[in-house]
Amino acid sequence: MKKTQIAAQLYTLRDFLKTPSDIADTLKKVRQIGFDAVQLSGLGPIDDRELTAILAGEGLVCCATHEKAADIVERTPMVIEHLHRLGCRHTAYPFPHEKPTSYAETVRLAEKLNTAAETMAAAGITLSYHNHAHEFERFDGHIWLDILYDHAPALRAELDTFWVQAGGCDPVAWIKKFPGRQPLLHLKDFGIIQGERAMRPIGQGNLNWPAIIAAGEAAGVEYFIIEQDVCQKSPFDSLSDSLAFLTEHFVR
């Protein structure tokens, strides 16, 4: 792993991204922590040109975004134009805007996402799917995340290590399922605090990070994206802890 492949998911810092001034201050702090790239998510209103200028001024790469789920499937050309303005090649569908409750409904969502993925691919953009735990429910004996990927061949994976584990599955095994099909990988550790599952900085939970990083590299992951939706301390400190762990143990 190269250090330039490690990114911060800005959703972690959403409480500090309400205004353009907040965004500028926060991106400066992210750069000072040591990140070279960010995934855009959780930002308040800001013009694309202003945002691009802030990123360039800090020397940060916009490696990917999360866009509104409905926009991805219903207003695909608008999303493409937005990504082109940002100079960004990757985006992800963050959460089902039509949450399936059956095999057939999962197939219908897959078909919509595949159409959007094909349209984006023609414009030089990859569309990935970001999972949570609910995608590991079974419909007719099949895990619905498997159903989704089986029926959306143009769709790529943005697996989330915490949520795969929370869904009762092995993050390493799932990463290995998608060689060449996962440009993005979300990293957050899975821990237990007072008997309850908890998101933890990388290296402070119970996941097998040597195996996860090795599987991601073998699968061709372009960006290893640190995210921690819920932090036990300052989210800036949590991101810093995760980056320090990855840098010490895996950056070459």
Backbone angle region of 143, left / alpha / beta, with phi > 0 → left and psi within -120 to 50 → alpha? beta
For β-strands 196-200 and 189-193, DSSP reports them as antiparallel
pTM of the model: 0.97
pLDDT of residue 242: 98
Strand partners, 130: 158
Write the burial class of residue 210 (CB in 10 Å: 0-12 exposed, 13-18 middle, 19+ buried).
exposed
How many angstroms separate the Cα of 136 from the Cα of each of 32, 141, 148, 165, 168? 37, 11, 11, 10, 8
- pLDDT of res. 220: 98
Residue 240 and residue 223 in contact, taking contact as beta carbons nearer than 8 Å:
no
SS3 113: helix
Residue 113 is predicted with a pLDDT of 98
Per-residue pLDDT of the chain (252 residues; tens, 9 = 90+): 999 999 999 999 999 999 999 999 999 999 999 999 999 999 999 999 999 999 999 999 999 999 999 999 999 999 999 999 999 999 999 999 989 999 999 999 999 999 999 999 999 999 999 999 999 999 999 999 999 999 999 999 999 999 999 999 999 999 999 999 999 999 999 999 999 999 999 999 999 999 999 999 999 999 999 999 999 999 999 999 999 999 999 999
pLDDT number for residue 234: 98
Non-local (6+) Cβ contacts of 1 within 8 A are 213, 217, 224, 246, 250, 251, 252
